[in-house]
Each structure stands twice: as structure tokens, then as C-alpha cells.
Amino acid sequence: MSTYSLSDGLASGAPRTSRVALLASWIRESGVGVLASIAWIAFGLSCLWWQDVGDWSRTHSLGIAAFIIAAIALFGTVGADYLGSAGQALHKRAPWLVALGAFLTVWEVATAKFAWLPLPFFPPPQAIIEVYTDDLPKLLDSVFASIKLQLGGYVIGATIGFLTGVSIGWSRAVGYWVHPVLRFIGPLPATAWLPIAFFTFPSSWSASTFLIALATGFPVTVLTWSGVASVSNAYYDVARTLGAKPSFLVLKVAIPAALPHVFVGLFMGLGASFAVLVVAEMIGVKAGLGWYLQWAQGWAAYANMYAALIVMSLLCSGAITLLFAIRDRLLIWQKGTVKW
Amino acid sequence: MVATALAEAVTYPAAGAALDIEQVSHAFDIDGTELPVLSDVSISVEPGEFVALLGPSGCGKSTLLRLVAGLDKPRAGRLREDEERIRRPHPSRVVVFQDPTLFPWRSVWDNVALGLEAQGILRSQGQRVDAALDLVGLASFRNAYPHQLSGGMAQRVALARALVNDPKILILDEPLGKLDSLTRITMQAEIVALWQRKGFTTLLVTHDAEEALVLANRVIVFSERPARVKADIRVDRPYPRHRGDPYLADLRRQILGLLGLDATW
């Protein structure tokens, strides 16, 4: 009886269920992509539907751009099978596209259209786009100035920190002299040196480089040192019985074994040096994104501040990503032994 | 299988060195108190001999090996390799430790190349690394990293890393202690084959009487700490030896008796 009714139900319902299942699977596959497209259409409409409460020149272009993104999302989703890896990349990021489109819509409506958020302090998206199109040369100059300062200070600080760390980890005599100095000066925030540095150094650029190097150097030193100090004696024993000289023990045993620690120091140093960079640029250096922020604040140009903040966060996260990539390359041997 | 693999392997010019341990005593400082570990140990090893050092756990056998390797200096007495005083480590005396202690950041090939690289002859003698890897049957793992190897494979790499230096004295500090029993038996046969082929002098620390008897042609039994030589037993049996050999079983009973285990065995 039960068998009969089951097969009967299957037979009569089969065509309908398969169509519904097909639709369900299509929605599962492409629903988010279509939703992303809808969200960006909503953003485009929110730009063009109402009048702006203020005077912004890029509203129309922004609306058009939103429609273009919506179209790309839609066609990318529908034609995902023909787009290969690009289609897959879009599929993976579709939920973020939905969230971003929704956020921009709300932002647009809350600022440019109805001014629910107090206006000069919360500029609409088109005001920020306007900064990127109209104030680009100045912004780019600031970006390059920041990168130059940051890179110089970081490389100097990381190099000195690494060499110091290896020396005090390896040699008791060096440790005797350097360790107390490190203990005394290291924990001091590098920004505390700002006033002195800007008076004693010949230029604000050299003063800032010194401060950034200082902020980088301390964590790199300490972690390199602890890395070298924690290398197992068994490694040294093995190398010594195989005929290794002291230089080999340092370069081919101690340093490679300590490298995972060194990278922790490099990451900490990078974070610390960003803070010093911005403060130094705000106070003493007459260039860079920190200075741009300060300058924009002076003119109450809030859109410029947000624009500079976005660029700054892209730069900082880009630097971290780059350091990760270098680490992944150098420490490929760790991949199977620790969780990344 | 091992024997045929060895027959095809590259030959090195090699011969064992004589080792003289003369009235060596050693002690450790532990929190200010002196802990004697070796007491007046004298052993004379002929070139090419395979000597097993057997004794209770913690009696100071491994300490003696460190002295032979030149990693530590004895408090009293002298050690000589071919009449020359041992003062520091030298690649003619290579140690294989209980842990393989491969460098995790180096591939298998680079680990085996360590000794040649340290001596600055890797560039001209790189083919010796390949030969050593062939010898232990791991040529296909040359690019693997240590964490990808099993315990037995890692210990084989450590063996290759030692052998690539063409040692005159091979020092084995319980190298099979942490391996499973099957891998152990296979590697015991491999070690004997390598030793017969190369002719290096071998010192093996173990606490397994059976292992000592299957491998060595001389077994030295140590007392409790501080270690003294309790017995020096010659094992005159041809290789390959059989574990069930009544002569070896008899010796084993005798040795366990010396170690104070006769009641149970």
C-alpha cells in the first residue's frame, strides 16, 4: 500500500517538482548576483531620482557608474558559465556587492538627498568622488610623500632592528650592553620623541625617518632576539658535528630558525610605524597624507578628509598584504607545520 | 633489497678510524652540586669495529658520545681519534641523534647537503648528496620538507646527512629508539649493510640488548650512573644475524643479568 502510493505520487508530481527544483537551484546559484545587481540599480536610482540638497557636480556620473556596475553584476551572474575564473570571482564576491550597494544607497539618501546626517561633516559619495577627480594631483603627491617617508624609515628600522636582534641573541657581550638600553628606551612610544626630534634633526624629513625607524626597530629587535635565543641547541649540535663554523651557525641555523619570530616583529613594527608616520606628518612634515588630513581639516573640507582616509587605509592594508606575501614566500616550509 | 640497492650505489674511499677513550671522567653541575656521570671509562676501539654501548637509562652513555663527537670536553682523561686528540667537533665523526633534528626550513636535499655546505665543498661535490639519498632509498623525496616525512624516513634522511660526510667514526645515539618495531628491524639491517660496505667505525648507544647483539661485534655494558664499564663482550657471529640464534639468546640473558634483570628474563 505504502509503496504504491509513493510511486503514484512520484509519477504524477515528477514534471512539476523538477521544474521547481530547477528554479530553486537557479536562485541558489544566481540569486545573490541578481540581488547585487538590484542593490546597485537602487543606488543609481537614489542618485538620480531626487534633487541634491547641495551643490555636487558628480551626482549624475555616479548614478551612471552605479548602473554600469549593476549591469556587470547581472551579466556576470547570468553568463557565469562562459566567463571562467572571472565569473567565479564575481560569484564569490556577490554577497559583498549586495552589502556595498545597499550601504551606498542608504548613505546617498541619508546625506545628499534628505540630509538626515548633518551635512558638512557627512559628505555624500559623490563629494568624495569629486575629490578624487578634481584634487587628484595633490592627493597623489601626498601619497608618494607618505610612501617615501614610510618606506625609508621602515627599511632602516627593520634592518637595524634585525641586526641588533641577531647580535644580542647571539653574543653575550653585545647583549650585556644593548639589552639595558633596549629595556630603557624601547617601550617609550616613538611619538614621545617628536618634539626633540624636530628640533635636533636638520630636517623634518630626517626627524620623521628617525621616528619611524625607531617605532619599527624596537619590536623587530625584541622578536628577532627572542627568535634567535629560542633556537634549539640540538640544531647547533648537528651543524657543529657536520663541520659548521660560527658564521654558518649564525647565517644558516640561527637566522632561518628565528625567521618566523622576525616576521611577527616586522608586522608589529609596521603597525607602530603607521601611527608615527601620520602623527609626524600632521605635526612637522609639510607633505604626505597626514598633512593632507590636517590641511583638509583647516579648510573644513570634510570630503577631502574621508577621501584621504580611504586612500590611507588602502595603503596600510596594501603594505600588510605585501608583507604577508613576502612571508608566505620565505616561510613556505611552515605551511604544513603551523596553522596560518 | 637493501643489499642490491647498496651494490649499485656510488663508492666512497672510506675506512674506519681507531678510537681511544682513556680514563675519561665527566660530571655535570646541577644547581651547584656536582653530578658525576662517567667514572674512569677506558675503551679502545679498533678501526672498523661496530661497538654497542648498553646500559641503564640515564647512565651517561649519551654523554660519552658527546665527548667522542667533541661537542663537550671531558673533566678528566683523554679521547683520541687515530692517535689525534679530540678537541672539537669534526665531520670525520658524525652523530645521528635519537631525534632526526632535520632543519624544518630546508628540503630533504638541502638537509643532506648541510655538512658539505658547512665545509664549503657543496659546489664541487654536490653529487655526493644524491648518492647519499640513493643509499637510504629516498631519492624521490629530495624536494620534500621534513614535516612531510614519516619518523622512519626522517631518520633515514638524518643517516644520509651523516653519511654524506664520509665519516670515519659514525656515532649513533639511539637512532632507532623512537621508531615502530617494523621500521626498526628494517633499519637495523640497513645500518649493518652500510657499515659493512663503508667500513667506518661505529659507536651505537642503545638500551635494547637485542638490537646491540644483532648489530654489533662488541657490546660494552655500563653500570648505573656514574657509568663504569661493567663488561666488554665480543659477539663473534657472522651477518646477517638471526634474532632466534641460541648463541645470541644466551648472550642476551647474560647481558640482562648484568643489568639486573635476570629474575624476570
- A87 vs A23, A172, A337, CA distance in Å? 20, 59, 34
Is the confidence at residue B193, as pLDDT, over 90? no
Average pLDDT over residues A113-135: 86
Average pLDDT over residues A305-328: 91
Average pLDDT over residues B78-107: 88
Q: Domain tally for chain B?
A: 1
Distance from CA of B66 to the nearest CA of A (A): 9
Q: What is the pLDDT of residues B200-243, one digit of tens each?
A: 899 999 888 888 888 898 999 888 878 888 888 888 888 888 88
Per-residue confidence band for B264, with pLDDT thresholds at 50, 70 and 90 = low
* B134 domain-assigned: no
Is the confidence at residue B14, as pLDDT, over 80? no
Average pLDDT over residues B40-51: 88
Chain B residue with minimum CA distance to A256: B105
Average pLDDT over residues A253-262: 93
- In this prediction, residue A337 carries a pLDDT of 63
Per-residue confidence band for A6, with pLDDT thresholds at 50, 70 and 90 = very low
Q: Please provide residue A187's backbone torsions phi and psi, each rounded to the nearest 5 degrees.
A: -70, -15
DSSP readout, A30-45? HHHHHHHHHHHHHHHH
Average pLDDT over residues A26-32: 82
| B119·A243 Cβ contact <8 A | yes
| B70·A241 Cβ contact <8 A | yes
**Which residue's C-alpha cell is 665545509?**
B119
CATH class of A135-334: mainly alpha
**Domain limits of chain A?**
2-120, 135-334
Distance from CA of A266 to the nearest CA of B (A): 19
| B118·A239 Cβ contact <8 A | yes
Average pLDDT over residues A127-140: 87
Chain A residue with minimum CA distance to B98: A234
In chain A, the N- to C-terminal Cα span, in Å, equals 58
Nearest to A235 among B69, B94, B103 (CB): B103
Q: Hey, which bits of chain B come out as E strands?
A: 19-30, 33-45, 50-54, 76-81, 84-85, 93-96, 169-173, 201-206, 218-222, 229-234
Per-residue confidence band for A53, with pLDDT thresholds at 50, 70 and 90 = confident
* B112 domain-assigned: no
Per-residue confidence band for A280, with pLDDT thresholds at 50, 70 and 90 = confident
Is the confidence at residue B9, as pLDDT, over 60? no
Reading the block at residue B183, the C-alpha cell is: 621500521
Is the confidence at residue B80, as pLDDT, over 70? yes
Reading the block at residue A85, the C-alpha cell is: 575564473
Query: Most A CBs within 10 Å: which of B65, B90, B103, as the mutation test of the A interface?
Result: B103
| A241·B95 Cβ contact <8 A | yes
The pLDDT mean for chain A works out to 87
Nearest to B71 among A235, A237, A336 (CB): A237
- Compute the CA torsion angle A100, A103, A109, A112 (nearest 10 deg): -70
- In this prediction, residue A255 carries a pLDDT of 93
- In this prediction, residue B182 carries a pLDDT of 84
Is the confidence at residue B261, as pLDDT, over 80? no
- In this prediction, residue B240 carries a pLDDT of 82
* B32 domain-assigned: yes
- For residue B53, which of B265, B243, B231, B239 has the smallest C-alpha distance? B231
Q: Please provide residue B95's backbone torsions phi and psi, each rounded to the nearest 5 degrees.
A: -105, 135
As a whole number of Å, the CA-based R_g of chain B is 18
Asked if residues A235 and A194 have their Cβ atoms less than 8 Å apart, the reply is no
Per-residue confidence band for A164, with pLDDT thresholds at 50, 70 and 90 = very high
CATH number for position B233 = 3.40.50.300
Per-residue confidence band for A39, with pLDDT thresholds at 50, 70 and 90 = very high
Residues in chain A with CB shorter than 8 Å from the CB of B93 are: 241
Q: Determine contact: A236 vs chain B, CB below 8 A.
A: no
Residues in chain B with CB shorter than 8 Å from the CB of A247 are: none
Chain A 310-339, residues with CB within 8 Å of chain B CB atoms: 331, 333-334, 336-337
Domain ranges, residue B68: 2-102+168-258
Nearest to A333 among B99, B104, B119 (CB): B104
The interface predicted TM-score of the complex, written ipTM, equals: 0.85
| Orientation angle between helical segments A2-49 and A85-108, nearest 10 degrees | 50
Q: Please provide residue B74's backbone torsions phi and psi, each rounded to the nearest 5 degrees.
A: -70, 155
Contacts with A77 (C-beta within 8 Å, 6 or more apart), sequence order = A30, A33, A34, A36, A37, A90, A91, A94
Is the confidence at residue B155, as pLDDT, over 60? yes
Distance from CA of A153 to the nearest CA of B (A): 30
Per-residue confidence band for A9, with pLDDT thresholds at 50, 70 and 90 = very low
CA–CA distance, A69 with A57 (Å, rounded to integer): 20
Nearest to A241 among B94, B104, B106 (CB): B94
- In this prediction, residue B125 carries a pLDDT of 85
Q: Please provide residue B49's backbone torsions phi and psi, each rounded to the nearest 5 degrees.
A: -75, 150
C-alpha A141 chain-centroid distance:
21
